[in-house]
A and B are shown apart, each in its own frame.
Chain A
Amino acid sequence: MKHAMIYMTLLCALAGISAAQAAETLPLKHANIRLDQTTLRKGLQVFAGVCMGCHSARYVTYKDLMDYPEIGITRKQADDLRGEHPLTAALISGMSPADAKVSFGKVPPDLSLMALARRGGANYIYSILTGFKHDPTGRIPDGNYNVYFPGHRIAMPDPLSWLDHDPAETKGLEQQARDVAAFLTFIADPHQNKRHEIGFWVIGFLILMTLVLWLLKVEVWRDVKH
């Protein structure tokens, strides 16, 4: 039976490794994000200033941006962001889906869950945003050629291109891409920090309980002879 366990573990490990390899056709860059308030607020700035030109985040409201402690902007900042929209409105782009379809050929996807809806999550977002290059074959116009996008032709024109013209700004591009990847990772699952925090105590408690139960088991089984 022990052999069975070893075989199974090995097989599962093998399956896991090859599954992970098959999952990404192009190796994504590692975003190395942190979900702290500074990063998330900078990410929000990029999101509101650049992404929201076309994209929405239908599951996040202006009020959420105040209420989530990880972002926690003030009422004044929320008012500046929302303009005419009510505080409980979602972050909806000013561009209508119909207009976007005319301009880009397709409706820009909602970004609320983007970090969960693509393989690689934050790494995917970071890689795409920094992956706009010149097509070596010249078939795809600059701004629509992305080395990390499947098939390389992406409908979204390089959103951070204005940062890239000056080589000195490359660092700014990387940083902004990282910040917005962090922001999108956060809004895809806004309770994740709380989840990790509670998890620590839950698992800690369970380990203690398991130890106590083990001692109880040993005590109860003391009179059973093998």
Chain B
Amino acid sequence: MLKKILDSRASEWVDERTHLVRYIRFHLIDYPTPKNLNFWYAFGSIALAILAIQIVTGVFLAMDYKPSTMPTGNGYSEAFDSVQRIMRDVGYGWLIRYAHAVAASFFFFVIYLHMVRSMYYGSYKKPREFLWLMGIFILIFMQAIVFFGYLLPWGQTSFWGATVITNIIGAIPVVGNWLLHLVRGGFSVGGPTLNRFFVFHFLFPVLLCVVVLWHVMALHVVHSNNPTGVEPSKKNTIPFHPYYTVKDLFGVSVFLIIFCWFVFYHPTGFGLMMETDNFNPANPMRTPSDITPVWYLTPWYEILRTVPNKLLGIVGMVFAYVCLFLMPWLDRSPVRSARYRPVYRQVLFIFFVAVLVLGYCGHQPVTPMYTWIGRSAAIVYFSFFVILPFVHKFERTKPLPEDV
């Protein structure tokens, strides 16, 4: 049926005027794909599905949400009240909000797995460097978006999280205080901050969509890598449709089961996805005993926190991203996949463990023990990028297959 529609005279008419049909053919139908992609390659499509969920639920939430800190008595605000109105009175508002909150966590979970895949199979290497760069941009965009979004319920964690994170800006020499004032729209996090964060939380996803679209279009120029890291011959590639459309639909479906299980049975994600203290209204007079960001931001936060000097902490965190950006040029081995790179494989596992340890410590209260564990993990994190350019010199790679 699809073929019939695309071959119809109506499609021809449209295509002559906008090339729409040939874009669809190029990107969604004929796109040649290696036939040996495993389940790790499903996370891109799943991430795209989550982006769609976030846009749809987000638009409906915005219809009933009020970005206002106007007090409504007993420490509550219009923003907090409007969220509760969505949860209680708006038809299926609870479903929309829980889906939005749970999907935010899943978005990061899936993107992190997508990155693990990329690092393991060497998908960041020539000619896919640009793809990798845009991927890191997408990660940074997402982190900015959740940061803006987390302020909106105007709960305790919202308020204090935004206060702590914006404080970081103040440590920048010379322009720090000016910039801090500009971002907050005042001397402290307050009504103007909430208003601008609401606008940013709407604006940035639009920009994110542009980068994501570009990311996908660039992928279709350089084509997918595969678990062997070897370029497939023509006979070992298959068209995207129907092979990968059905396979990815299956992957998205499996994801939806897990996602819905959380939405319907554990919407707060055991306090990890929606934090307990955020059900208390924001109170600038009561500082929580420990302020930690949501789990998906903790590795970066921990790098920032373990450095004793605030400014150096920021430098460290920025450098953590810079290292990721440089990955395609730091790794100089001609072999892509870690399947054939025994040394890289070990080093990479240690790197992954370091990121998990950083993330775990970043979620704990500051104690000397966690500080030292976190600091060691940060050193391991950076050591990975220091070792990377030299790995190929002493690594004996296993023989590569002729074809996929």
Partners in one complex: yes
> Which of A's residues lie within 8 Å of B, judged by CB?
1, 3-4, 7-8, 11-12, 15-16, 19-20, 22-23, 56, 58-59, 64, 97, 107, 109-110, 112-113, 116-119, 188-191, 195-196, 198-200, 202-203, 206-207, 209-210, 213-214, 216-217, 220-221, 224, 226
A103 to chain B, nearest CB (A): 16
Neighbouring B residues of A8 by C-beta, 8 Å: 352, 356
With A3-B349, A117-B280 given, can you name 17 additional A-B contacts, CB distance below 8 Å? A7-B353, A11-B356, A23-B271, A58-B73, A113-B84, A113-B279, A190-B88, A195-B267, A199-B263, A203-B260, A203-B261, A206-B260, A213-B250, A213-B253, A221-B243, A221-B247, A226-B35
Residues of A within 8 A of B87 (CB): 189, 191
Interface membership of chain B positions 81-95, coded 1 if the CB is closer than 8 angstroms to chain A and 0 otherwise: 100100110000011
How many Å from the CB of B167 to the closest CB on chain A? 25
B116 an interface residue at 8 Å Cβ cutoff?
yes
Number of A-B residue pairs having CB atoms within 8 Å of each other in the complex: 114
CA–CA, A13 and B261, complex, Å: 19
| Interfacial residues, chain B to chain A (CB-CB below 8 A) | 35-36, 40, 73-76, 81, 84, 87-88, 94-95, 98, 116, 120, 227, 238, 242-243, 246-247, 249-250, 253-254, 256-257, 260-261, 263-265, 267-268, 270-271, 276-277, 279-280, 339, 349, 352-353, 356, 360, 363-364
Interchain Cβ contacts under 8 Å between A and B, 27 examples: A1-B40, A1-B339, A4-B120, A7-B349, A15-B356, A19-B360, A19-B363, A64-B88, A110-B76, A112-B84, A113-B280, A116-B268, A196-B265, A206-B257, A209-B253, A213-B249, A214-B250, A216-B250, A217-B250, A220-B243, A220-B246, A221-B246, A221-B247, A224-B35, A224-B243, A226-B35, A226-B36
B294 to chain A minimum Cβ distance, whole angstroms, is 13
Residue in chain A with minimal CB distance to B272:
A19
B109 → chain A, closest Cβ, in Å?
Answer: 10
Say yes or no: A4 contacts B94, CB within 8 Å.
no
A59 and B253 contacting across the interface, CB-CB below 8 Å: no
Query: Which residues of chain A have C-beta atoms less than 8 A from B238's C-beta?
Result: 224
Contact B243 A195 (CB under 8 A): no
Q: Do B360 and A195 touch across chains, with their CB atoms under 8 A apart?
A: no
In the bound complex, what is the Cα–Cα distance between A72 and B62 (angstroms)?
31
**CB closest residue in chain A, given B242:** A220
Give the nearest-CB partner of B94 in chain A.
A191
- Please measure, in the bound complex, the distance between the C-alpha atom of A42 and the C-alpha atom of B353, giving whole angstroms: 51
A213 to chain B, nearest CB (A): 4
CA distance in complex: A12, B238 (Å) = 36
Residues in chain B near residue A19, CB distance under 8 A: 360, 363
- Minimal Cβ-Cβ distance residue in B for A209: B253
Pick the contact of B257: A107, A109, A118, A210 (CB < 8 A).
Answer: A210
> Do A119 and B276 touch across chains, with their CB atoms under 8 A apart?
yes
- Listed residue (A12, A22, A59, A112) with the most chain B CB atoms within 10 angstroms of its CB: A59
- Min CB distance, A223 to chain B, in Å? 9
| B276, A117: Cβ atoms closer than 8 Å | yes
Question: Complex formed: what's the CA distance from A203 to B254 in Å?
Answer: 10
Asked whether A206 lies within 8 Å of B253 as measured between CB atoms, the reply is yes
The 5 closest A-B pairs by CB, nearest first: A199-B264, A117-B279, A210-B253, A213-B250, A116-B279
Residues B74 and A210 in contact, CB atoms below 8 Å apart: no
Contacts of A221 in B (CB 8 A): 243, 246-247
| Contacts known (A58-B76, A189-B94, A214-B250); A203 close to B257, Cβ less than 8 A | yes
